[in-house]
Amino acid sequence: MSVQTLYTAATGMEALETKLDVIANNMANINTTGFKKDRANFEDLFYRQIRVPGSENSDGSITPTGIEVGLGVRVASTQSDHDQGAFETTENALDFAIEGSGFFQVAHPSGQTVYTRAGNFGINANNELVLGSANTGYRIEPSISIPEEATEVVVSADGNVQYRTSDSPDLSSVGTIQIATFINPDGLLKMGDNLFAETAASGTATPGNPGDPGYGSLRQGFLEASNVEPVTELIDLINTQRGFELNSQVVQAGDEIMQVVANIRR
């Protein structure tokens, strides 16, 4: 009987551990460019219906309540929160932030297009615009090459990439940075390295130009900071820890009862 108590409390502790993992990851990425925080959603497990409410009792009357004993809790999902992060000014011509919805598209070596909100780009040996993260260096899609002689790169809010050389004061265009939106960005798969991949839940990417209706616009010289809010995370952390303690108390109570049972016969 009390064994159920132990298992129920254990589900609580397990779910809270997962929540703690999520909080730890959020906190760890508090300075990660373009990071989107996660949230653990909990739901109750099923119920043992010992007597369904509204059943007929021996007198023939309908009972207003029943006996339902719940079996605990589980994590239903971890949901990313795609709220806009704060803007950090960097004054680097190849740092871009998206204000509004949309993701930069980059080419993954597997041939698949992957998505990111981290706009810290650089130029590789072939003069191509590439993602500046540590172990990727993936090319932006559609690819944009900036000639070697360029002395200044100007990117407008609608994604148009132009450059100037020391010879001429006129701007020449080399292409447009496109961004992609998703019906359900929460459904994107987090790949690490600041990258997201499309899934059946996210829907297919719909690429468009920055500034189109429903698409965000580009800000050159800015980066989108992580949207983790330390205060909220700390409050969540405290709550999780207390919840864990409460559930461990339940385990102790269940254990105590079993001990009493074991000692019934003296």
Partner 1 sequence: MSAEGAKVQSRRLEVIANNLANVNTVGFKPDVAAFQSRFAEAIQRGQALDGDRSMNDVGGGVSVFDTTTDFAAGRLQKTGNQLDLAIVGDGFFQVQDAQGEQFLTRAGNFTIDSQNRVVTQNGMFLLDSGGSEIALTPGLPYSISATGDINQAGNTVQLGLQRPGSLGDLVKVGDNLFRPLAEVQPVEAGMREVRSGFLEMSGTNSTRQMMDMIETTRAFEANVRVLQSQDSMSSNLIGRVLLS
Closer residue to partner 1 in complex, CB, 138/182? 182
CB of 79 to partner 1, least distance (A): 6
Interaction of residue 200 with partner 1, rule CB under 8 A: yes
Interaction of residue 72 with partner 1, rule CB under 8 A: yes
What residues are paired with 261 via a beta bridge? none
Of the residues 20, 30, 171, 250, which one makes contact with partner 1 according to CB under 8 A = 250
Amino acid identity at 77: S
Closer residue to partner 1 in complex, CB, 130/188? 188
Of the residues 214, 234, 238, 241, which one makes contact with partner 1 according to CB under 8 A = 214
Strand ordering across the sheet containing 206-208: 189-192, 195-197, 113-116, 103-107, 179-181, 206-208
Query: 149-158 long-range contacts, Cβ below 8 Å, gap at least 24?
Result: 152/93, 153/93, 153/94, 154/93, 154/220, 155/93, 155/96, 155/218, 155/220, 156/218, 156/220, 157/210, 157/211, 157/217, 157/218, 157/219, 158/209, 158/210, 158/211, 158/217, 158/218
Interaction of residue 86 with partner 1, rule CB under 8 A: no
Contact region with partner 1 (CB under 8 A), list: 25-33, 52-60, 125-133, 171-179: 52-60
Contact region with partner 1 (CB under 8 A), list: 131-139, 155-163, 164-172, 175-183: 175-183
Of the residues 32, 90, 92, 101, which one makes contact with partner 1 according to CB under 8 A = 101
Of the residues 63, 145, 162, 209, which one makes contact with partner 1 according to CB under 8 A = 63
